[in-house]
Structure 1
């Protein structure tokens, strides 16, 4: 009982003390509830955040966020330059840095890196004018600055004004940010010691972002508005319905859609739509050409997703261009089973495909971090950085290569399209298939309704089961018998289609598809699945010249030969190998009117006409897909 009395007395004393510490407050409201000055009490955060305006050589200052581990000395710096708001890469209000970062940045925080994010010119907090992927100084850019000089000046300032650093800088970034890395490599600062462009925008006409072999990617309408209608982020194009397929079909041409939504008043759209062919505008910005013409000695890892729905072209082509220039020793290629920029997130799955672990987390910790540590900290990795490392999705494993590809361009194996929908290595005697391509009923790129702003469907459309179109009369499917032995494909396939059309222009879409067995007890959802492993679209007017388009002679057989995205894939026994051919992929790509007009962007309604497309088989038209088949995998044993 005395103990209870003592406890009660202690509680009363505590309450009275607390009450005595609270000053009485006048109940009458006077003035504002927002004080002139208020400072949050200091917290025990494990990092220091600085915001600075770094001056460039022309006096323009760029907004830069620097995050330093508390107590750091002699730390390496990692720089990312972005048009997507440098302030947003550290979010929330947690006291631990890793809790405030996206997954892709946590590995750097965990290992004591100084993280630097910078807004490019004219975006968010940076001064100056914004130009979409500003061209290098030269014919397309008469100024004395570009993102090469801005990258150089930024690194120069960092090594002089961040005393916690060790004087060495690495650069990293995905998509547009990856483009900024490549621009910095054209004339790198001496302190730039290592780089990793991830899915970088390299050639916007050939296959990154804006076009694919001349066919315009209409998903970029939202991007144009978001990026160029405001200094910060503009909003996406407003929709009147919930199906982009129908809305874009009703609008007509890409130019008509742009006019309907006011996009035609934006300078970048005007510039882009005035240059539908591969002219000086696009050639002058093709960074794979530029890095090959001005190769740097900075060790670089070119990172790519095998199912990147936005920038599937640039990294591998840049690596190949540098390899051809004799720069293979300092350039590495890494390709994972990822959609666009998934390397920076969680990657234990892609659509219905499931991997044995988080492939991106493994890559970041076991390949990318040791690679950067090698050049920023003189830390020798436990295992040498692979020259080439590419995931084999069918085998569910990473594979390392001393060289790539296993089968060179002169060693490709033709798989010929056959009558009756067959696919085989033997050239048939003759034959042809015909279908009607109707611009009023274009083949969708994913099941309807389509919302290209929906991340879940947009990021996984490249692994969409193709059975949703395989029964359409305007989609031709050719497949092998059930495979009795594995077929290893390592490299870039080539489509080689011989066809005629009753129109004067045409598009060609070719897909390489893995057809799963009809029954799959371990993964029933994949029973009979038609998984595209490589596909591309080609605008027929450019069959002779990318720079100088020409009309197609109706009824005359023409050859359409173009490269498909790189793959490392094993078609397993019990599966089939399929090739699909069609003439549209809408609304992702704009419709070809199938009547030759000077600029498809501004085709008129009467230009859109049905056409009969005939695919030739046999010696007079040996339509085929040329595959880089190797007898057995050339991967190095792990």
Structure 2
């Protein structure tokens, strides 16, 4: 359809002008408005965004697409996260005051565009409803900059170097300075290509990189409890989000943990304070794809965002959501919809995880079996930081050929520094819906250890698909995964230690004849910083060294995987 389109400048209090595209419905206004704000050039959302803006406009919404400060058509210098609370609040007020608007403003969008929604609320914006997707807004420590205390060096490089730096360079007015910046970009590109950008100890070096890449790496080097890590994040300020929220995520999204925890906290606030209850949609999606196929696995046509559970696509869900939140229309009965992989169907729930879910402990044995009576004993592996285990699928946001999703793990599992355990072939389907975590008992000859755990589905033909994964750095076990506060200290060589590894959550049916499989590895590179196996007195990484791990089983050392199961 032909859209009525205008380009405007939203002038902020400091004089900065933000480029804004307005898409107007047919007829006379005023209309409620929907605002999208991000740093990736909103021109793209007019033709191929997460939702169809033409259909939002056809549904009677004034749509506003805005480049954030310092990006594409907007003035100023880009200061990621820090600028969005004040700028977002002013942008919402500007839009609400326009003659074309009723004064009611909702916001939507994924990734950074979800951050701008929460940030606007933190800035005091009068937003009436939000629809944040694949969101890192909760914390820096649950997949955004760190996971289990381990720096997310891969996604930091992917975002700063590829998503942000090219346009930052293009904005430099002086040709010589622009050429110098381009040379730095090319040097970083070479370092990513040869692996030196993310090898063990890379964060202790300070190469001459583009300013935005330096910005990202400096935050990985900063203390976990530094104030800079909390900028633009909700953290313990969930009370600021006292508006209806449609929360959207993917099982293979790098920000799944943050998305689910934001929903849990919003649901808890609704129960205790009477604030609006959130809605949740989780598909078999990654950060970059909401299709039905990922990593060579086709989950069927209803898995895609343009089909869903037979009740309209993702744009339809947004229209219904904002019709309910801004216009008082009825909402669908089920507040939660999650896609169950393996069964390849959507599951409607009242809450996630469902209260009916049963907690099951899968005990890992020294013989490599998973059973209720595990074989006691030890298994050892050698952790060599100079030969890290490569990333192969999972909930990642990376570069090159490191794609997200349920990738086959057989090449990885063939390595001597990856241990595996598996059940006997299942005699009936087992459906896991809810949280997944592992408890690993080990000792090491080093003073630190990064324990990577994967839950996999082993098919009868031998294919091994990763379903969920997580990591925990030994020296950071006392650090809170939301606030970053807590003591960091080295491990004592030779002492038995307990690692609790959060694999976030999943919804997956392990079919009859398949096996549940668990892998433990010493790294996943370039996804996470390669651990050095050494730690200083204050928790800082030491020089890389080879270490031997001993994993304990049975008796007083029950290494195990803990899942929640349901009957479908």
The bucket for the TM-score relative to the shorter chain is: 0.7 to 0.9
* CA pair 204-233 structure 1, distance change in 2 beyond 3 A: farther
Is 1:184 aligned to 2:120, yes or no? yes
Of 558, 563, 568, the residue aligned with 1:622 is 558
- Residue 85 of structure 2: aligned partner: 148
Give the direction of change, closer, same or farther, for the CA distance of 1:535–1:270 in structure 2 (3 Å limit): closer
Within the candidate set 254, 262, 265, 1:318 is matched to 262
1:79-135 C-alpha deviation (Å, 9 max, x unpaired): 111112234433xxxxxxxxx34362254245343321112223333334422211x
Q: CA RMSD in A?
A: 3.0
Residue 367 of structure 2 corresponds to residue 416 of structure 1:
no
Q: Deviations over 1:316-358 (max 9, x none)?
A: 1111112222357521121111010434xxx121121213315
Q: Does 1:215 align with 2:150?
A: yes
Q: Spell out, residue by residue over 1:233-270, the C-alpha distance to the aligned partner (whole angstroms, 9 max, x if none).
A: 6879436998947422796522366x335257966246
Secondary structure, counterpart of 2:504 in structure 1 = coil
Q: How does 1:387-398 map to 2 (within 5 A)?
A: 387-398=335-346
Task: Provide the rounded CA distance (Å) in 2 between the counterparts of 1:458 and 1:280.
Answer: 32
Provide the secondary structure at the position in 1 that maps to 2:63.
strand
Q: Does 1:596 align with 2:544?
A: no
> Normalization by structure 2: what TM-score?
0.86
Contact 1:407 1:628 (8 Å CA) reproduced: no
Alpha carbons 1:254, 1:602 under 8 Å: kept: no
Query: Which of 474, 479, 485 is the aligned partner of 2:422?
Result: 479
State the alpha-carbon separation in 2 of the partners of residues 440 and 570 from structure 1: 37
Map of 1:503 onto structure 2: 446
Structure 2, unmatched stretches of 5+, are: 172-181, 308-312, 481-485
- Distance in 2, Cα, partners of 1:502 & 1:80: 51
Aligned to 1:532: 466
Is 2:504 the counterpart of 1:565? yes
8 Å CA contact 1:46–1:69 kept in 2: the answer is no
Checking the alignment, whether the CA contact within 8 Å between 2:490 and 2:537 is kept in structure 1 is no
Q: How does 1:154-303 map to 2 (within 5 A)?
A: 154-163=91-100, 165-186=101-122, 189-190=125-126, 192-219=127-154, 220-225=156-161, 226-227=163-164, 231=168, 237-238=185-186, 244=192, 246-248=194-196, 252-255=200-203, 259-263=206-210, 268-269=215-216, 271-283=218-230, 285-291=232-238, 293-296=239-242, 298-303=243-248
- CA contact under 8 A between 1:83 and 1:120: conserved in structure 2? yes
Give the 3 Å change call, closer, same or farther, for CA 504–127 of structure 1 in structure 2. Answer: same
* Partners of 1:221 and 1:237 within 8 A in 2: no
- Per the TM alignment, residue 282 of structure 1 is displaced from its structure 2 partner at its CA by 2.5
SS of alignment partner, residue 238 of structure 1 = helix
8 A Cα contact 1:249 1:440, kept in partner: no
Partner of 1:522: none
The DSSP-based 3-state class of the residue aligned with 1:156 is helix
Distance 1:243 1:160, change over 3 A: closer
User: CA–CA distance in 2 between the matches of 1:529 and 1:188?
Assistant: 51
Task: Measure how far apart 1:399 and its partner are.
Answer: 0.8
The 2-side partners of 1:294 and 1:585 are apart by 36
More strand by percentage: 2
- Are the aligned partners of 1:407 and 1:629 in contact in 2 as well (CA < 8 Å)? no
How many residues get paired? 538
> Is 2:342 the counterpart of 1:342?
no
C-alpha deviation, 1:197, in angstroms: 0.5
On the 8 A contact 1:175/1:341 being kept in 2, the answer is no
Q: Residues 447 and 492 of structure 2 are in contact (CA less than 8 Å); yes or no, is this contact kept in structure 1?
A: yes
In structure 1, the residue matched to 2:297 is 353
Tell me the CA shift for residue 414 of structure 1.
1.2
Change (3 A) 1:452 1:334: closer
Per the alignment, do residues 55 and 593 of structure 1 end up closer, same or farther by CA in structure 2, a change over 3 Å counting?
Answer: same
Q: In structure 2, what is the equivalent of residue 542 of structure 1? A: 476
Partner of 1:612: 548
Is residue 198–residue 526 contact of structure 2 (8 Å, CA) maintained in 1?
no
| 1:3-152 equivalence runs, <5 A | 46-71=2-27, 73-90=29-46, 100-102=47-49, 104-106=51-53, 107-134=55-82, 146-152=83-89
Q: C-alpha distance in 2, partners of 1:177/1:495?
A: 32
C-alpha contact (below 8 Å) 2:20/2:65 kept by paired residues: yes
* 1:188 to partner: Cα distance: 5.2
| 1:368 match | 318
Distance 1:78 1:616, change over 3 A: same
Of the three residues 514, 521, 525, the one matched with 2:457 is 514
Structure number with bigger Rg: 1
Distance 1:572 1:394, change over 3 A: same
Q: 2 CA distance for matches of 1:201 and 1:54?
A: 26
- Structure 1: where are the runs of 5+ without partners? 1-44, 91-99, 135-145, 519-527, 634-638
CA contact (8 A) 2:157 2:213 kept: no
The aligned residue for residue 525 of structure 1 is none
SS of equivalent residue, structure 1 residue 435: strand
